[in-house]
Amino acid sequence: MKLTMASSPHNHSQKSLSKMMLSVIAACIPGFIAQVIFFGTGVIIQLVLALICVSVFEAIIMVLRKRSIFAALSDGSAWLTGVLLALSIPPLAPWWVIVIGSFFAIVMVKQLYGGLGFNLFNPAMAAYVLLLVSFPVQMTAWMPVTELLSQPTTLAQQLSIIFHNFTSTGFSLEQMRTTVDGMTMATPLDTIKTDIAHGLTVTESMQKPIFGEWAGLGWVWVNLGFLLGGVYLLKSKIINWHIPISMLVSLALCSAIGYVANPGTEPGIIFHLFSGATMLGAFFIATDPVSASTTNKGRLIYGAIIGLLIYLIRTFGGYPDALAFSVLLLNMAVPLIDYYTQPRTYGHGEVK
């Protein structure tokens, strides 16, 4: 019986990559359930599609790179990318949207840069931006919440739309999106933007049926779901508080300033915080460790600028939501931020 040599430390905290990734996926569950409730079972179909696609693409690349498929898949990072992508695209988008998105995220953004840990950009968000820019119609075709639909959709019909563009009864997605009063619905953020451009005030716009008491109907609950998941992540110390808090505070601050300056065309703090992908972004996307800043000071700056950019693009930009663009822009700035925010090492510089 021989002695074994090993390098210290001889103990480990038993944290592991796959546990972390699976926890993040688990934390998506509340938001996911809210999305299913309000936007139908299409979300589930997209999720299953995404998981299959990312697994297949990851496996193919691993074969090409002559690495272990099991090791790559078991770390769970590809699945997390798939989950995030599935949660951010419209539930009834055609099937090829998620396939292209998964391909771009896994193959181009992640593996071609060297695999997990080497990608400069958040794969899910880069794929989202690619899809948004290339297929604007499909990517903005969000269904209104189910209760506003002229006819309830079944799982079979949704499958049919995703794979054949039409339901078995011959309705297209456009027709499905039409509400009881015959109006085509966009997302709340989109609606507000269009209405303000048309000269309506926020209060007038908010009268529309897709808005609830504070913000978009259903969207509030989806955001609350992700907030709940985010709190779990913070509590289990899987993510640090710096990025989500600074991002939310920055977004709230900007919208507060905007509201004070121009109450007529500004929907206000609550609307911004609980619309679109705010909470998903704050807790699940901006905190992606690979592409985010790694110093505590840097994280505060990173989060704060994302919050600012989200507000600026939502208010002044051409797109209704801005999370993906803001995150990608800041991904590019990470090396710079990290370089200038190195913590003071013990025994260096000013000691108080």
Partner 1 sequence: MEKLLEQIKHGTVWPFPGGVHPPQQKSQSNSEKITRLPLPDKLVVPLKQHIGAHGKLIVDKGDYVQKGQALTSPTANWSVPVHAPTSGTILEIAPSPSAHPSALPELSVIIKPDGKDTWCQRQQVSNIKTIDHDELINIIHQAGISGMGGAGFPTYVKANTDKKIDFFIVNAVECEPYITADDVLMREHAVEVVQGIEIMQQLLQPTLCIVGIEDNKPQAISAMQKAAEHNEHIIIQSVPTVYPSGGEKQLIKLLTNQEVPSGGIPADIGVLVHNTGTLFAIQQAVYEGKPLIERVVTVTGNTIHKPGNVWALLGTEIKHLLDCQGFSPVPQQRVVMGGPMMGFTLPTVRIGVVKTTNCILAPDHNELAEPGDEKACIRCSACADACPVSLLPQQMQWFAKSKEYEKLQEHNLFDCIECGACSYVCPSEIPLVQYYRVAKVEIKEQQADKIKADRAKERFDARKERLEREQAERQNRHKRKPTTKSADEKQKVADALARVKPKSDKDGEKSAVAAAIARAKAKKQQGEQLEPDNSDVAKERAIRKQQARQYKEEKESQGSSESTDDKKSAVAAAIARAKAKKAAQQNSAESQDENTDSAPVDDKKAAVAAAIARAKAKKAAQQNSTESQDENTDSSPADDKKAAVAAAIARAKEKKRQKEGNNPS
Partner 2 sequence: MTLLYALIALGSLALIFGVILGYAAVKFRVKGNPIVEQIDTILPQTQCGQCGYPGCRPYAEAIANGDEINKCPPGGESTVKKLSELMGVEAKPLAGGEQAEPIKTVAYIREDECIGCTKCIQACPVDAIVGATRQMHTVLIDECTGCDLCVEPCPVDCIDMLPLAPTKQSWKWQLDAIPVTQID
- Contact partner at residue 240 from partner 2, partner 1, none, CB < 5 to 8 Å by partner kind: partner 1
**Cβ at position 4, least distance to partner 2 in Å:** 8
Question: Could you tell me which of 109, 117, 89, 90 has the C-alpha nearest to residue 21?
Answer: 117
Backbone angles phi, psi at 227, to 5 degrees: -60, -45
**Is 351 a residue that touches partner 2 (CB under 8 A)?**
no
**274's tokens:** 């609980």
Residues between 6 and 35 with contacts to partner 2, criterion CB under 8 A:
6-7
Q: In Å, how far are 9, 46, 143, 151, 247 from 171, measured between CA atoms?
A: 63, 20, 14, 11, 41
The residue (of 4 and 345) whose beta carbon lies closer to partner 2 is 4
| Side chain identity at residue 188, one-letter code | P
DSSP 100-134: HHHHIIIIIIIGGGTSTTT-SS-HHHHHHHHHHHH
Residues paired with residue 179 on neighbouring β-strands, in sequence order: 149
**Residue span binding partner 1 (CB under 8 A) among the ranges 87-95, 114-122, 137-145, 172-180:** 114-122
Question: Considering CB under 8 A, how many residues would be counted as binding partner 1?
Answer: 42
Pick from partner 1, partner 2, none: which does 77 bind, CB < 5 to 8 A by kind?
A: partner 1
| Gap between the Cα atoms of 231 and 23, Å rounded | 12
Q: How many residues form the binding site for partner 2 (CB under 8 A)?
A: 7
Binding partner 2 by CB under 8 A: which of 2, 12, 198, 235? Answer: 2
Contact 88, 94 (CB under 8 A): no
- For the segment 294-313, give every residue that binds partner 1 (CB under 8 A): 294-296
Which lies closer to partner 1 via its Cβ, residue 4 or residue 169? 4
When asked if residue 235 is in the footprint of partner 1 (CB under 8 A), the reply is: no
Q: Which is nearer to partner 2, 5 or 261 (CB)?
A: 5
Enumerate binding residues for partner 2 (CB under 8 A). 1-7
